[in-house]
Amino acid sequence: MRLNTRYFGELDVPDDHIINFANGLKGFEERKQFAIVNNYDTEEPVPFFWLQSVDDPDLAFVITVPFIFRPDYAFELPEETEKTLHITKESELGIYSIVTIPGEVKDFTYNLMGPIVVNYTTREGDQVVLYNENFSLHEQYRS
């Protein structure tokens, strides 16, 4: 699929990188399709990707795999999410956190209370809201 993006111009994105969000993302419920795109800002490997709206070139989120920074991150997936995403086994899943970069990349935070869950088999996604005092909307990176 040819995709227009604000940050990278036009990109060719494989169809299996397009994720359908039946409920949209929190605050962006009208946007249903997003692509997970590699970070083309640097030639060095970085732990960040982009979640780019298929329909709106200006709507994109920096995301990361939270386990890279917080290996103990664990939660029970709500039963409703399992049904929505047609989950049959954990190996189908990808878990991401939306990243906020307030200025310098080294000061980034990531959202553990609202993980994005993707079923790679069905290419369906959902953003889950977790009510857990151990998780923060703005988890700070600690090296």
| Domains of the chain, start order | 2-140 (2.30.290.10)
d(CA 3, CA 8): 10
Minimum mean pLDDT range among 42-46, 55-59, 136-140: 42-46
User: How much is the average pLDDT of 100-124?
Assistant: 92
Q: CA 143, CA 131: separation in Å to the nearest integer?
A: 26
String of DSSP letters for 40-71: -S-SS--SEEEEEESS-TT-EEEEE-GGGT-T
pLDDT value, residue 2: 92
pLDDT given at position 8: 87
Give phi and psi for 80, each to the nearest 5: -60, -40
From residue 129, give the alpha-carbon distance in Å to each of 24, 124, 137: 13, 17, 10
Nearest in space to 60 (alpha carbons), one of 98, 94, 23, 93: 98
Would you call 17 helix, strand, or coil by DSSP?
A: helix
Determine if the pTM surpasses 0.75.
yes
Structure confidence at residue 41 as a pLDDT band (50, 70, 90):
low
